[in-house]
A and B are shown apart, each in its own frame.
Chain A
């Protein structure tokens, strides 16, 4: 390595290590984000508070309620004695769902046309849709169970009564549909991208803001040496962050790492090209660190929302789906999720890797062309 580059890297490292507060933030942010997203941003709906208005109060109605209690989707939180009470509880947000069992439930059950009403609070569609499917499934399985019992009582041999069609579903890679498995690989991508782009932008702009660029300009440092020397320490920090998140994801949240670690690191390196490029580009637009931060944020927000980090791309309108094609993070998320969860090899994700390489190189090239070692 040439001596100028080495001097810049050493200087940058001294500055990073001396700014203890910033260093602590850089190292702690990924952990905080991981725990926040790992625990808070989950779509796994459990223990929905259920209000029960059981007008029948018979053995049959208790059996139905037991069926709901048995699955941990619902928690029988309130027992009420009027429909008004249900309305109040749902309005207050104390109950998110309610079941009403009519007084003639047992008699009509004997006749074979019993009904029960299930009410859902749809203001939060995510938990409502989970509750909706759960409510129907539990109800149907209870109905099937009752039917089988009835048939057995008539002395029929039920073994002959197999339904003509049965769909057997199998969930691969994440059989319990834990949303952490989906979130944590995403967090790695987001942190890598955000840290490298923000730190690159601010560390370059800092030289301008503090006036030190004026002294750097008159040294024989080449522009590429300045850029590489300034960002390399942050690339190393970003990789430390990657390992932090991988380790916590694996050890604490139990997210599997089925594919090759080498492929994960390689793809992360490709993503860094884009992060560095965007950071460098922002630094050519900004005169202060705040301006640089804001410029980077303008690109981070679409990256987060249009990459499939939170919301599936398939659910987006065609225009947004099209825009997502130029967002590098999108490709990285496909790679890291496949490699970690499915154990995919390069053969199945090479297209995404190529996309990262192409986008990264283009952005970095464009930013480097704009980067001048001058004051104007």
Chain B
């Protein structure tokens, strides 16, 4: 049974449709990533799932509890880490985690060992007397994670948990999440702007304008672009960008560092490579090589961001 079941969620703010017919189903032990541009509706979706906002339409079941009817029972199963640091900066690390432990029903005599264990788990034990406002960005997120985990929830909702966190700490953070999911068999939904993080998820949902327009394992999503990404090495890639994007069959051309990535329309890859090889060196420099490469999630992200999939046409 899925721990998180959401069907046909709608939510508007004024005239802006923030969430438009979203369906989600996440199993125990699964890490589900919601990706998409800013304003695609990721945060609103998480807030609906946790009951911080009411959906205009749709149903949400958390571990079998309807979030609208049995709000508190459902919330009791959820650990939530919001995008903005939302613990008390004037309380210490231990006071914060104690407060959230107690208001969530952990008995007075139980909170301390549990909190200390979690602080040890996230590596904040030695900072337990420090005020939360004096922690670094990464430590704040770890404290947030520890607070979210204090009631041993079955569901973890993380809204951009690693935004603004340095790469080493991001790595730590992911190790923590993977360990806790493996150990407790939780269902996790997280949002992230980083494609390397998206690649670590079991399943991804790509959101645009409030809809999930593509869903699947990272490898499945990448497979849709298999054979359609061409890497071009040239002497002056930026000068050449305009010229190569005019080649028939090229959907998109972008600079990736010192190389160019072209995306071809299905079946046109060979033709494009042919015309690239025939390219005469000129003002825009000369082409050293052109070859088909395996698509990255970033290619998928870009393709989905400007793919004309309106009116419910599904990509995957």
Contacts and interface: CB of A to CB of B under 8 A. Distances in A.
A214 interface: yes
Contacts of A221: 103
Contacts of A217: 50-52
B41 to A, nearest CB: 15
A145 interface: no
A212 B107 CA distance: 23
A11 B86 contact: no
B75 A220 contact: yes
A7 B72 contact: no
Nearest to A5: B103
B131 to A, nearest CB: 8
B103 A7 contact: yes
5 contacts: A7-B102, A211-B82, A213-B86, A219-B100, A220-B105
A192 interface: no
A14 B91 contact: yes
B87 A374 contact: no
Contacts of A213: 86
Contacts of A11: 88, 91, 95, 99
Contacts of B54: 374, 376
A11 B76 CA distance: 21
Contact of B103 (A4, A14, A15, A212): A4
A214 B54 CA distance: 14
Interface of A: 3-4, 6-8, 10-11, 14-15, 18-19, 210-221, 374-376
B205 to A, nearest CB: 21
A214 B103 contact: no
Contacts of B50: 217-218
B85 interface: yes
B91 A15 contact: yes
A302 B220 CA distance: 67
A8 B95 CA distance: 12
Contacts of A10: 99
Interface string B29-54: 00000000000000000010011111
A214 B84 contact: yes
Contacts of A211: 82, 84-86
B197 interface: no
Interface in B67-121: 72, 75-76, 78, 80, 82, 84-91, 95, 98-100, 102-105, 107-108
Contacts of A14: 90-91, 95
A71 to B, nearest CB: 59
Nearest to A19: B90
- A15, A218, A219, A221, most chain B CB atoms within 10 A: A218
A218 B102 contact: no
Contact of B86 (A6, A7, A8, A215): A215
Nearest to B13: A376
A8 B53 contact: no
B241 to A, nearest CB: 41
Contact of A375 (B53, B105, B108): B53
Closest 5 CB pairs of A and B: A7-B102, A215-B86, A211-B84, A214-B82, A220-B72
B47 A375 contact: yes
B154 interface: no
A215 B104 contact: no
B90 A214 contact: no
B147 interface: yes
B164 to A, nearest CB: 14
Contact of B76 (A8, A220, A374): A220
A151 to B, nearest CB: 82
A14 B87 CA distance: 14
Nearest to A218: B80
A336 to B, nearest CB: 36
Interface string B274-304: 0000000000000000000000000000000
A4 B89 CA distance: 20
